[in-house]
Amino acid sequence: MSTKTPSKLEEILTAGHLAVTSECGPPRGSDPEDITKKAEMIRNHVDAINITDNQTSVTRLCSLAACVHLKMMGIEPTLQMVVRDRNRIALQSDILGAASFDIHNILCLSGDHQQFGDCPKGQNVFDIDSMQLIQTVRLMRDEGKFLGGDEIKRPPQMFVGAAANPFADPFEIRVPRLAKKIAAGVEFIQTQCIYNLDKFELWMKLACDRGLHEKVYILAGVTPFKSAGMAKYMKNRVPGMDVPDEVVKRMSGVPKEKQAEEGINICVESIQRLKEVEGVRGFHIMAIEWEEKVPEIVERSGLYPRPDIS
């Protein structure tokens, strides 16, 4: 396969390497160091870094500006974009803005409902949905056109990604939904955090049965638990998250001071197992406010050093 964009992530995947991505949440303030420090910790261990877009609807420094900071550091960013806060004018405008800084990866998302965040009384937009955002970026890139039909001078060159949650309900449409995203034009997928490996493997198998793994690069999402409390919280409070009881038990089974280490162990073991799953083309390591642990996870999982592609 040849690449369609200058994206390093695309190149690594096309070359057949297991890709490693991670993510950083921008700060609730304007200090660029909050991003650059996190990025510095992990830059040598990942191929690209996602910058979240006001995740859980909590107002933060914008994803685009944070991506520009990464770009200035010579790190490849993935711009996360939710359709919750912007209409089609603003979405297209921000895509062009990102393209003007040669940001080459985009992740198209719906976004959590604003009631989870710091502005539950605010409006939401949802002018288009995540499926349609994928189509929009592809239209802008491949046909060099705006949604309105006008031509774009210097169209964006973006490798188009989306999320997939194999654990959300109803399960039976999880694979059809992936197929739908592929039909919309998605090129890579980062999945929801995987704790229920059996269920993930089933999803992956059903996807492979339809040949979907050959049409899209699937990066398996993992998040290390910092504590048993976090495991319980993720299990009970985070919508669309599937944390099996035995994982919670395993975390609770070790003394508090050893829980963080156990969380990393579980994460590394998961990656080891997922590496063997057909269709898994890389990993997306979401170490929430725990970026310093990413290098250790990558190294212990045998994913280091990262391929040198320039």
Partner 1 sequence: MIVAEKKPIEEIIDQVKDFQKLLIAGCNECVTVCEAGGKKEVGILASALRMYFMNEGKKVEIDEVTLERQCDHEYLEEIRDRIDKYDAVLSLACGVGVQFMAEKYFSTPVFPGVNTCFMGAAEERGVWSERCQACGQCILGETAGICPISRCAKRLLNGPCGGSTKGKCEISKDLDCAWQLILDRLKELDRLDDYEKIMPIKDWSTERAGGPRKVVREDVRL
User: Which residues lie near partner 1 (CB under 8 A)?
Assistant: 84, 88, 110-113, 115-116, 124, 126-132, 135-136, 147, 163, 165, 168-170, 173, 176, 179-180, 183-184, 192, 239-240
Identify which of residues 171 and 304 has a Cβ nearer to partner 1 in the complex: 171
- Least Å distance, CB 19 to partner 1, is 21
Nearer to partner 1, 101 or 126 (CB): 126
Angle separating helix axes 256-275 and 245-252, nearest 10 degrees = 140
Give yes or no for a contact between 275 and 220, defined as CB atoms under 8 angstroms apart: no
The distance of closest approach from Cβ of residue 160 to partner 1 in the complex, given in angstroms and rounded to an integer, is: 15
Task: Report the nearest approach of partner 1 to the CB of residue 77 (Å).
Answer: 22
Nearer to partner 1, 65 or 147 (CB): 147
Amino acid at 237: R
Q: What ranges in 103-157 are assigned the alpha helix state H?
A: 130-138
- Which CB, 129 or 296, lies closer to partner 1? 129
* Smallest distance from partner 1 to CB 293, Å: 25
Contacts of 184 (CB under 8 A, 6+ apart): 131, 132, 134, 135, 138
Coil, strand or helix at 106? strand
CB of 219 to partner 1, least distance (A): 16
Least CB distance from residue 229 to partner 1, whole Å? 21
Question: Among residues 20 and 82, whose Cβ is nearest to partner 1?
Answer: 82
Q: Are 293 and 264 in contact (CB under 8 A)?
A: yes
Residue 38 CA to residue 41 CA, distance in Å, equals 5
Residue 89: count of CB within 10 angstroms of its CB: 12
Give whichever of 65 and 238 is closer to partner 1, judged by the CB atom.
Answer: 238
- Closer Cβ to partner 1, 17 or 177, answer by number: 177
DSSP 301: T
CA nearest 186: which of 220, 155, 212? 212
| Residue (54 or 135) nearer to partner 1, CB | 135
Find the shortest distance in angstroms from Cβ 209 to partner 1: 15
Name 309's Cβ contacts closer than 8 Å, sequence gap at least 6: 8, 11, 12, 15
Rg of the chain over CA atoms, in angstroms? 19
**d(Cα 128, Cα 11) in Å, to the nearest integer?**
29
Please state the closest distance from residue 170 (CB atom) to partner 1, in A: 6
